Structure 1
Amino acid sequence: MFERLFPRRKRAPQPLPQPNAQLALGALLVRVAFADRNYRASEIGQIDRILAATFNIGPIAAAKLRAICEKLEHDAPDTPEFARILREEVDYAHRLALGQAMWSVALADGHRHEKEEIQLLEIEKALGLTDTDIEELRRQATGEP
């Protein structure tokens, strides 16, 4: 009865923050993990560890950052826009390290998935990595000769 008299109003959604390098990296990590449509706890944990180590923040702050990145990944720019932000703010050597981090997320569940590898390749190319470096990142991550 009270519900009809005083209906609950949905809160207006909070606006998403403007992507910066921190949010762009987190969103791309989430995008890699979501690529196979199976977002596992092992991938979430790996993303949190990468964010904590990269930005020198604690585990709770990393989890909060990841939660924002999950929303941003779902509702915000496409991969090239996130990659552009990182290309502008992160030097090449660190973008290579980002490629390694993304591979660690893709392999965190212990399985190789074609969709994740396709997503990774798109991101690596958008980050401006060379074909040689992309191939080397894949070899290092997968242990292939």
Structure 2
Amino acid sequence: MLESIQRFFQQALAEPDTAGGPAPTLELATAALLFEVARADYHLDDSELALLRRQLQQRFALEDAALDELMSLAREEAEQAVDHYQFVSLVKQHYGYEQRCELVRTMWMLSLADGESHSLEEHRIRRLADLLHVSHSDFIRTKLQVQNAADHR
């Protein structure tokens, strides 16, 4: 009986249930993680949404209609997700280390877009950086780069 229980959990972890809908795309996974940072302080500022839109446009070169749909889906996913495993897993699978560091840098840019530094946003970025296997030194380095760039504007 113990073996059948172990086998069940191994299969469940190896093959997540997709009955909840199709697996997210890399674009949606990235956008959902970024949305999660933008909404971490329980306030979505227009400057954060504008920056998120620009960052997604630059990263994925989407037409306006596709970008609108991606923003809408990402917001919905971020608000409904119980955890971020499926998003983080997909990003780790397809992004190299430097791309993951760049994603963390974008997270810092979003957190400072409204001109405020909020501890809830920092906590969310720290947690996501850990899940993305971005080192603490690169987490700090990207934070300082974004802060220095913001100070020189």
Pick from 32, 37, 40 the counterpart of residue 32 of structure 1. 37
> After TM superposition, where is structure 1 displaced by more than 4 Å over at least 4 residues in a row?
none
Tell me, in whole angstroms, the C-alpha distance in 1 between the residues paired with 2:29 and 2:140.
23
Match for residue 121 of structure 2? 116
User: 1:18 Cα shift?
Assistant: 2.0
Match for residue 7 of structure 1? none
Task: Name the TM-score, length of structure 1 as normaliser.
Answer: 0.82
Tell me, in whole angstroms, the C-alpha distance in 1 between the residues paired with 2:86 and 2:21.
15
Task: Call closer, same or farther: CA 1:60–1:45 in 2, change over 3 Å.
Answer: farther
Residue 105 of structure 1 aligns with an amino acid whose one-letter code is L
User: 1:80 Cα shift?
Assistant: 3.5
Residue 40 of structure 1 aligns with an amino acid whose one-letter code is D
- The one-character-per-residue Cα deviations of 1:58-117 (angstroms, maximum 9, x if unpaired) are 344222211111111122351333211100111111111111111111111111001000
Residue 100 of structure 2 aligns with an amino acid whose one-letter code is R
Task: Call closer, same or farther: CA 1:82–1:22 in 2, change over 3 Å.
Answer: same
User: 1:22 Cα shift?
Assistant: 0.9
Does the CA-based 8 Å contact 1:83-1:126 persist in structure 2?
yes
Match for residue 102 of structure 1? 107
User: 1:119 Cα shift?
Assistant: 0.4
Match for residue 47 of structure 2? 42
Pick from 119, 122, 138 the counterpart of residue 143 of structure 2. 138
Does the CA-based 8 Å contact 1:49-1:59 persist in structure 2?
no
Pick from 26, 41, 46 the counterpart of residue 21 of structure 1. 26
Residue 110 of structure 2 aligns with an amino acid whose one-letter code is V
Pick from 53, 62, 67 the counterpart of residue 62 of structure 1. 67
- 3-state SS of the aligned residue for 1:97? helix
Show structure 1 runs of 5+ residues with no match.
1-14
Does the CA-based 8 Å contact 1:48-1:59 persist in structure 2?
no
Show structure 2 runs of 5+ residues with no match.
1-19
Q: How many residues align?
A: 130
